[in-house]
Structure 1
Amino acid sequence: MTATANDTYKAPDTAPPILEAVGLTRHIPMHGRRHGQVVRAVDGVDLALRRGQILALVGQSGSGKSTLARLLALGDRPTSGEIRFDGRPVNAERRRDRRRHYGHVQMIMQDPFASLNRLHRLRYILSRPLRNFGTPGAAELEARIIELLERVNLTPGREFIDKYPHELSGGQRQRAAVARALAADPSVLLGDEPVSMLDVSIRLDILNLLTELRDRDGLSMLYITHDIASARHVADEVVVMFSGHLVEGGPAEAVTQNAKHPYTQLLLAASPDPDRLLSGEAGTGTAAASLAAAAGGPDADDDPDSAAGSATGADGGTEAGCPFRARCPHAQAICAERMPEAADAGSGHWVRCWLHT
């Protein structure tokens, strides 16, 4: 997947999917007073990541984003549904299929200090995946480690190869975490909130690095975030997740500039936007502020019917209705009856909301 510095990979709009979720569901059994019920953390999700694309998965904490990422990385087993890589189903029960998938799909964790072993130098941390996925010889191994460090702009690589994680800044640690993911020579990166633990001043550097890897090497990436503003700037497409369901998606500009679903509008209203502040559109009395007040704010972790996933019977039957209805200022009677099908909003933009069906 590597390319020279002068090479630039550009994925066509019709590039085939490289990683897909088809009807993917993850139900988590509950205990205590809710024994016998399940949390529908991911509920029948269909998702397609194209070659050379950055796809942003946006939603608040507890919406099911990280669970979906773990399913795609085979860190969790789905209750039902299918994962496909390059058009072929992945059989997570077969060791050979799992090992092959691990080589193709790698995760970048949220906290680089927790995800890197603080007892070892970068030389050892990066050598493990290189050995696991086939780099022979000590001399070649060191050259590959230095190449990986410099690929993520930790230059010169020889100055970093023998450092411990605690000797690096937060941004440097996250670059080292990206280098470890790249050591397997993957086709897909799953970035689970990869910049949320970093200072605001260095987040843009990491986002630019991820974009560079897409443009230069043709890597595909699922960028998971609660910050829809950063998704707009880094992603080709955006999909919005609430309570285990995908509720809106399409080209990043279309979703962020012309949001259709009330939940997406709420995320945008809660996101700092310098353009909106300068134009005077933000503030009490505006449509955005009214929506945020009507919906009760973006966090409702204590509400089992909110983004933390809804509890249903142990049979796992399909829950009726839109999961956002209890907080939606536009809820109708039909919203409690069944979840709407995706409606076409034009130019690849779609939304699952009765307001647009």
Structure 2
Amino acid sequence: MNSKPLIQIENLKKYYPINKGIRDVFRRKKSYVKAIDDISFTINKGEILGLAGESGSGKTTTGEILVRLQDITDGNIVFDDHDFIANSKEEEKRFRKEVQMIFQDPYETLNPRFTIFETIAEPLKIHGIKDKKEIYNRVLEVLEIAELKPAEQYAFRYPHELSGGQRQRVAIARGIATEPKFLVADEPVSMLDVSIRADILNLLKHLRDNMGLTMLYVSHDLSTIKYLCDRVIIMYLGKIVEIGDAKEVIENPQHPYTKVLLSSVPVPNPDHKRERIEIDDELPDQINLPEGCRFGPRCPFATEECISCDHTLIERRNNQWSACIYHDEELIISK
């Protein structure tokens, strides 16, 4: 894995204005949902970075911003030493070729009127390939890479003729058809049968190893993140609360929120007894966020000092960082 960052994100923010009525339009002080609130991280070349958190944490919004499906409110993003904001149609087209996304629902991401061949051929035509034979060969090639074999038997079927796993493989084939540098996978196995999830995860690993792809893997499933990812970021209410080596974070979590997430992961051993960490199921108001640590109102370890938490990441272990000032039954305040 190349240690040079492919993507650098600094002080990224995504706020959604709340307009409850006509009066709110004219108010000077507006209310916002802070989906992403001042986060910074890097994604190294050849790395699979996991992004985890419960619903509403901001992980999917982060992924959509990195493929320009959403605009940023503030912050700076550098992609492959280029400014993230395109200044011309040529730059925009280059970006679309180099960055692709696999969505969660394979049933909704494929046009039912297109054959599999047409679905994969469309981005090739958009990006300048005109020769029909070259397009045909490339479509069959990526279908083979996505393990839909023999490719000729799948190329001219329609999406309704495929299973859920096969449709997701088509979505992956479409994603790699233009030979991108970066791929965002937004919970690509959450809607698939458990029996085929490992096959899709192994396919993503194969793409990284053989194509040099860099990936952002968005998921709430920490077990798949541990299996697939090199590093993991844990998000809560728009903030990064922990980041580090995926295996280290999952086996030795430093933030209470990470511990809560892990305590809810099912263990396939019926004799294994895990202590469940009980918390309040209701999230805080995302408009009027709590003072200090955002997890504080639900945290079983919270103290009065947690009000002073500003979510600064503190190094706990080698390249493992946590935003919690409470650790090992003592308070550690970041200077």
Give the TM-score, by structure 1 length: 0.86
Say if 2:6 is the partner of 1:18.
yes
Q: Distance in 1 between matches of 2:312 and 2:138?
A: 48
1:198-213 superposed matches below 5 A: 198-213=192-207
Q: Distance between the aligned counterparts of 2:309 and 2:300, measured in 1? A: 18
Q: Distance in 2 between matches of 1:219 and 1:153?
A: 17
C-alpha distance in 2 between matches for 1:199 and 1:239: 26
1:43–1:319 distance in 2 versus 1, CA, 3 Å: farther
> Which residue of the partner structure matches residue 85 of structure 1?
79
**Residues 254-333 of structure 1 mapped to structure 2, 5 A cutoff:** 254-274=248-268, 277-278=270-271, 280-282=272-274, 286=275, 289=276, 291=277, 293=278, 295-297=279-281, 300=282, 303-305=283-285, 310-312=286-288, 320-333=291-304
Shift of residue 135, structure 1, vs aligned partner = 1.9
Q: Please state if 1:344 is matched with 2:315.
A: yes
**Residue deviations 1:131-159, cap 9 Å, x none?**
11222311111111101110100111111
Provide the C-alpha distance between the structure 2 equivalents of 1:47 and 1:342, rounded to a whole number of angstroms. Answer: 11
Aligned equivalents of 1:175, 1:244: Cα separation in 2:
31
What is the DSSP-based 3-state SS (H/G/I as helix, E as strand, rest coil) of the residue aligned with 1:52?
Answer: coil
* Partner of residue 237, structure 1: 231
Q: Deviations over 1:173-223 (max 9, x none)?
A: 000000111112101110001110111111111011001111111111100
Alpha-carbon spacing, 1:145–1:114, altered in 2? closer, same or farther (3 Å) = same
Conserved 8 A contact 2:309-2:325: no
Show structure 2 runs of 5+ residues with no match. Answer: 25-29
Give, in whole Å, the separation in 2 of the partners of 1:154 and 1:47: 35
Measure how far apart 1:92 and its partner are. 4.1
Q: Which residue is equivalent to 2:34?
A: 40
Task: Determine if contact 2:284/2:290 at 8 Å carries over to the other structure.
Answer: no
Deviation of 1:126 after TM superposition, in Å, equals 0.7
1:144 is the counterpart of 2:138: yes
How far is 1:87 from its partner? Answer: 2.8
CA distance in 2: counterparts of 1:166 and 1:32, whole angstroms: 41
Once the two structures are TM-superposed, the CA of residue 99 in structure 1 deviates from its matched residue by 2.1
| Partners of 2:290 and 2:297 within 8 A in 1 | no
Amino acid at match of 1:19: I
Q: In the alignment, which residue of structure 2 is the partner of 1:228?
A: 222
Name 2:27's counterpart in structure 1: none
How much does 1:345 deviate?
1.4
Cα–Cα, structure 1 residues 152 and 143, in superposed 2: closer, same or farther, change >3 Å?
A: same
Stretch deviating more after TM superposition (59-68 or 33-42):
33-42
| Contact map agreement 1:320 1:339 (CA 8 A) in 2 | no
Conservation of the 8 A alpha-carbon contact between 1:118 and 1:165:
yes
User: Which residue of structure 2 aligns with residue 120 of structure 1?
Assistant: 114
Q: Indicate conservation of the 8 Å contact 1:110/1:197, yes or no.
A: yes
Give the Å deviation of 1:125.
0.6
**How far apart are the structure 2 equivalents of 1:334 and 1:73?**
39
Deviates more, 1:185-194 or 1:131-140: 131-140
How far off its partner does 1:333 sit? 1.9
Contact 2:58 2:236 in 1 (8 A): yes
**CA shift at 1:83, angstroms?**
1.4
Q: Which runs of 5+ in 1 are unaligned?
A: 1-10, 313-317
Q: SS where residue 248 of structure 1 aligns?
A: strand
Contact 2:240–2:311 (Cα < 8 Å) also in 1: no
Q: Is 2:239–2:311's contact at 8 Å kept on the other side of the alignment?
A: no
TM-score (norm 2): 0.92
Looking at structure 2, the residues matched to 158 and 126 of structure 1 have their Cα atoms a distance apart, in angstroms, of: 13
Amino acid at match of 1:244: G
CA contact (8 A) 1:109 1:115 kept: yes
Note the C-alpha offset of 1:93: 5.5
Read off the aligned partner of 2:9 and give its amino acid letter.
A
CA contact (8 A) 2:255 2:324 kept: yes
Secondary structure at 2:223's aligned position in 1?
A: helix
Residue in structure 1 matching 2:149, options 145, 151, 155 = 155
Distance 1:296 1:340 in 2: 21
Residue 322 of structure 1, CA deviation: 1.3
Pick from 156, 175, 179 the counterpart of residue 185 of structure 1.
179
Matched residue count = 322
CA shift digits 1:27-63 (9 cap, x unpaired): 0011327943100000111121111111110111111
The DSSP-based 3-state class of the residue aligned with 2:76 is: strand
| 2:157 partner letter | K
Q: CA contact under 8 A between 2:309 and 2:324: conserved in structure 1? A: no
